[in-house]
Amino acid sequence: MVGSANYIVYMFLALVLGLTSACSSQVQTPSDWADFWQAAPQRKAATLSQRLKMTLLPVSSLGKLHYQQQVYDLPVVRVRRVAKQAPICIFAGVHGNELAGTAAAVSLIEDLAKLPRLYPKTNFTLVPLVNPWGWERGFRYNFEGKDIARQFALSGTQETDFIKALLAREHCQVLVDLHEDSQHSGFYLLTYEPADPHFTPNMVKRIAKALGIAPAEQVPQGVYQVSAQEFASNPRPTLSQYAREQGVPHTYIIETPMRLSMQERVAIHRRVLDELITQLSHK
Ligand SMILES: [Zn+2]
């Protein structure tokens, strides 16, 4: 375990110089993340919001989620490096029991705050915790027992209503939704039929080699390519499919295997995010 300052230096070097170790034992995450993946009573959405505000980046609320007596803010962080540039939009914590995505999104936010030269020509809109009620309890669904990820074409939830309003305003150039998987042994990406069919498989190959972590064996090349036919016939579209339907040109779901350590899962999410940001900015 190392301190957060060392981690940032490590990630920065990995990004700029491509020096990430090929050994999984080298995967490092900051020691002060412990509260965010311990037993559910330790996780408080208000504490996470406070942590976001401490970055001094512009943190606002997409709205208030009302669950009987409890009210939760839905925080959004907007990082604007350049004028008139559509942002890369990153969402995490749609499923409250998938902790690594939220940890990775917050680590990216903190790095963007501490490293002004990190992605200097890219704007970001980040919603690191879509389902705060579920996240506090380690529960996949929201307070109403609904799977937020399956509600984007249905009657919706408070969370999906706020996200849809956000997507209508922001015109994201890329959307990434961070998830975890309890079935597969390795990580994988889900995306839609791309112009370049080699782009995502090559990226997965690079990340697997760099981190020393294999992609999911059950998913060829670690990429689940949703076909046009599947896209058209899916009755329960996810956030990423909804965004595609709204005209977002590039959308991805990242899935990390829950059987790995939290450090490894966060490292995978960060590495994929860093690759996607580097490769897809301004395209
Ligand atoms: Zn999920």
In this prediction, residue 234 carries a pLDDT of: 79
pTM as predicted: 0.86
Q: Report the separation in Å between the CA atom of 141 and the middle of ligand 1, taken as the mean of its atom positions.
A: 10
Domain that holds residue 61: 4-280
Average pLDDT over residues 111-134: 96
Q: Confidence class of residue 20 from pLDDT cuts 50, 70 and 90?
A: very low
Whether the pLDDT of residue 24 is over 90: the answer is: no
Q: Report the separation in Å between the CA atom of 180 and the middle of ligand 1, taken as the mean of its atom positions.
A: 5
Residue-wise burial string across 38-64, b where 16 or more C-beta atoms lie within 10 A, e elsewhere: eeeeebebeebbebbeebebebeebbe
In this prediction, residue 283 carries a pLDDT of: 52
Q: Report the separation in Å between the CA atom of 151 and the middle of ligand 1, taken as the mean of its atom positions.
A: 13
Q: Confidence class of residue 110 from pLDDT cuts 50, 70 and 90?
A: very high
In this prediction, residue 32 carries a pLDDT of: 53
Q: Report the separation in Å between the CA atom of 95 and the middle of ligand 1, taken as the mean of its atom positions.
A: 5
Q: Report the separation in Å between the CA atom of 226 and the middle of ligand 1, taken as the mean of its atom positions.
A: 17
Q: Report the separation in Å between the CA atom of 84 and the middle of ligand 1, taken as the mean of its atom positions.
A: 32
Average pLDDT over residues 133-137: 93
Q: Report the separation in Å between the CA atom of 117 and the middle of ligand 1, taken as the mean of its atom positions.
A: 31
Q: What is the CATH number of the domain that holds 31?
A: 3.40.630.10
Q: Report the separation in Å between the CA atom of 191 and the middle of ligand 1, taken as the mean of its atom positions.
A: 15
Whether the pLDDT of residue 135 is over 80: the answer is: yes
Q: Report the separation in Å between the CA atom of 244 and the middle of ligand 1, taken as the mean of its atom positions.
A: 18
Total count of domains within the chain? 1
- Any idea which of 28-42, 60-74, 161-175, 192-206 has the lowest mean pLDDT? 28-42
Whether the pLDDT of residue 157 is over 90: the answer is: yes
Q: Confidence class of residue 281 from pLDDT cuts 50, 70 and 90?
A: confident
Whether the pLDDT of residue 19 is over 90: the answer is: no
Compute the mean pLDDT over every residue in the chain, rounded to the nearest whole number: 86
Q: What is the pLDDT of residues 183-204, one digit of tens each?
A: 999 999 999 877 788 999 999 9
Average pLDDT over residues 91-106: 96
Q: Report the separation in Å between the CA atom of 19 and the middle of ligand 1, taken as the mean of its atom positions.
A: 30
Whether the pLDDT of residue 12 is over 70: the answer is: no
Q: Report the separation in Å between the CA atom of 239 and the middle of ligand 1, taken as the mean of its atom positions.
A: 11
Q: Report the separation in Å between the CA atom of 249 and the middle of ligand 1, taken as the mean of its atom positions.
A: 22
Q: Confidence class of residue 50 from pLDDT cuts 50, 70 and 90?
A: very high
Q: Report the separation in Å between the CA atom of 17 and the middle of ligand 1, taken as the mean of its atom positions.
A: 32
- Any idea which of 97-111, 125-139, 145-159 has the lowest mean pLDDT? 145-159
Q: Report the separation in Å between the CA atom of 81 and the middle of ligand 1, taken as the mean of its atom positions.
A: 30
Q: Report the separation in Å between the CA atom of 114 and the middle of ligand 1, taken as the mean of its atom positions.
A: 29
